[in-house]
Homo-oligomer: A and B are copies of this chain.
Amino acid sequence: MIVFLTDWGNSHYVGICKGVIRQISDSEIIDLTHEISSFNAREAMYILYRSFYHFPKNTIFLVVVDYGVGSSRKAIAAKTRNYYFVGPDNGIFTLVFEEEPPIEIRELNNKKYHYLNSQTFHGRDIFAPAAAYITNGKFKELGDLLPNYATLPYIKPKKSNKKITGEVAYIDKFGNIETNIPFEWIKEFETLKIRKKRKYIEIPVVNYYSEVLPGQLIAHNDSTDYLEIAINQGNAANLLKLKSGDFLELIL
């Protein structure tokens, strides 16, 4: 099974890659999501990390989210204890590889297993065919062994007696702030304070939006057991001027 994650929206680019896969393999293709914000490798890193372990053993994750800049990076495929991961070597696998260390990493430089040779559509030409060839048992032939992989620096969540720090994982389409802070750490509190410049804003910890008036901030449990900061019928990221990767400091 190939699980497909990109920042392309549900565009024909997704459909084209499925066509290329079907030229090589009959393996089922499941969309994880294609709604990652454009060029947001950090968001992809978090979404993948919160999703991969719900899929059966031997699933191949095809992840194509790149930065929008011109720096070169390798194309890789990695085998871990339970899964395969295929994508750009730009740090998107940082968190999953902490849990599932790569046993073997291949650089996708064997042109025999490329589809076409464009500069602009590596998803179609390198990554999708690599995922498909892995279903055919060709992992070791995809290219040279690599000793390591790129990581994306991130702020690990930390908890002290009075303070929690972490980072914004991503902003969802409603402007809700998804953090990398386990909700477990704050669930016993009735409120928390978030620092905004020199001021602290107090936010109630609630179960439902409807517990506060429209326009008010809330802290609650997102669907994957992390703290989410939201506004009832509003855009929390705009109000707090926060974006993916920003430092968070919460006072309990």
Binding site for B on A (CB under 8 A): 1, 3, 5, 9-16, 18-20, 22-23, 29-35, 47, 50-51, 54-56, 59, 68-70, 118-121, 123-124, 172-173, 207-211, 221-225
Would A32 and B50 count as touching, CB distance under 8 A? no
Inter-subunit contact B10/A35 (CB<8 Å): yes
Q: Which residue of B lies closest to A125 (CB)?
A: B223
A124 touches B12 (CB 8 A): no
The verdict on A56 contacting B12 (CB below 8 Å), with A120-B223, A121-B224, A210-B70 known, is no
Bound CA–CA A20/B223 (angstroms): 15
Q: Is the CB of B51 within 8 A of A15?
A: yes
Residues in B with CB closer than 8 Å to A18 are: 30
Max chain B CB contacts within 10 Å: which of A9, A31, A33, A69?
A33
CA distance A120 to B207 in the complex (A): 9
User: Do residues B119 and A19 form an inter-chain contact, with CB atoms below 8 A?
Assistant: no
State the CA gap A211–B70 with chains docked (Å). Answer: 9
Q: Is the CB of B56 within 8 A of A22?
A: yes
A210 to B70, alpha carbons, bound, how many Å?
8
Residues B3 and A19 in contact, CB atoms below 8 Å apart: yes
Q: Which residues of B contact A19 (CB under 8 A)?
A: 3, 30, 51, 54-56, 59
Question: Contact between A22 and B30 (Cβ–Cβ < 8 Å)?
Answer: yes
Contacts of A207 in B (CB 8 A): 70, 119
Q: How far is the CB of A116 from chain B (nearest CB, A)?
A: 9
Q: Which residues of B contact A5 (CB under 8 A)?
A: 12, 15
Q: Which residues of chain B are near A14, meaning CB under 8 Å?
A: 31, 33
- The residues of B that contact A10 with a CB separation of less than 8 Å are 10, 31, 33-35
Contact call A223/B121, Cβ cutoff below 8 A: yes
B56:A33 contact, CB within 8 angstroms: no
Docked pose: A70 CA to B209 CA in angstroms: 9
Known A-B contacts: A12-B33, A12-B50, A121-B224. Give 7 more (CB < 8 A).
A15-B51, A18-B30, A22-B30, A23-B55, A29-B30, A118-B225, A123-B223
A224 to B69, CA, bound (A): 19
